[in-house]
Copies of this chain bind each other. A is one copy, B any other.
Amino acid sequence: MSAYPPALQRLTAYFSRLPGIGKRTAERLALSCMDWPEADLQGFAESLGTLRSRIRRCSICGNLSEEEICTICRDGQRQRNVICVVEQPSQLMVLENSGCFRGLYHVLGGKLSPLSGKGPEDLRIKELRARLLEGTVAELIVATSPDVEGEATAHYLAQEFADLPVRITRIASGVPIGSDLTYADAATLSIAMGSRRTLGE
């Protein structure tokens, strides 16, 4: 039983529902809010309370957006003939921050996962087909995660769109740059060996 006032316990309970935040940390976070200037606390509250009403899914790619169409889809500078398929907006952001891709995206909203009952109809695959049918896309880069479900999703997409005149590619798997081979796992090493390339080509 905590002797903190109910209002603080309530806030602690909310904080502890966030991913990776345990009861102790939640208590510390709630306590620290007591020291915030009142205006900032109100700003924080307002920001939380209006989050969902402000943010929606881009009607084209499914990315998070405050407008009907997200900034990436609206950006005239981007290559419009390549679409990179990702599972979630957070993964789109990782690619975006890396600066290695200047095309458009398509957010599936997850990956095929029979165990958690996620089938093709739960992903934004119909929407992707519609985009490909427009005929401007030459390549579809499947950047789902290199785990069992991500690979399954990639293969499913390859089959699903085999009838369309679109090149379907998959990001490479292998040992991460800058990593120590001592700690590479067997599965990654096996892929890295199998996908080896001739040096000096």
Binding site for B on A (CB under 8 A): 2-8, 10-11, 14, 17-21, 25, 27-34, 36, 38, 40-52, 54-55, 64-66, 70-72, 89-90, 92-93, 96-97
User: Are B71 and A11 in contact, CB atoms less than 8 angstroms apart?
Assistant: no
CA distance A8 to B51 in the complex (A): 7
The residues of B that contact A10 with a CB separation of less than 8 Å are 47
Number of this chain's copies in the assembly equals 2
User: Are B44 and A14 in contact, CB atoms less than 8 angstroms apart?
Assistant: yes
The residues of B that contact A46 with a CB separation of less than 8 Å are 45, 49
Known: A11-B47, A45-B45. A34 touches B52 (CB 8 A): yes
User: Are A5 and B66 in contact, CB atoms less than 8 angstroms apart?
Assistant: yes
User: Are B44 and A5 in contact, CB atoms less than 8 angstroms apart?
Assistant: no
User: Are B64 and A4 in contact, CB atoms less than 8 angstroms apart?
Assistant: yes
The residues of B that contact A7 with a CB separation of less than 8 Å are 47, 50-51, 54-55, 66
Identify the closest chain B residue to A13 (Cβ): B47
Say which residue of B2, B5, B29, B66 sits within 8 Å of A18 (CB atoms): B29
Say which residue of B8, B14, B29, B54 sits within 8 Å of A64 (CB atoms): B8
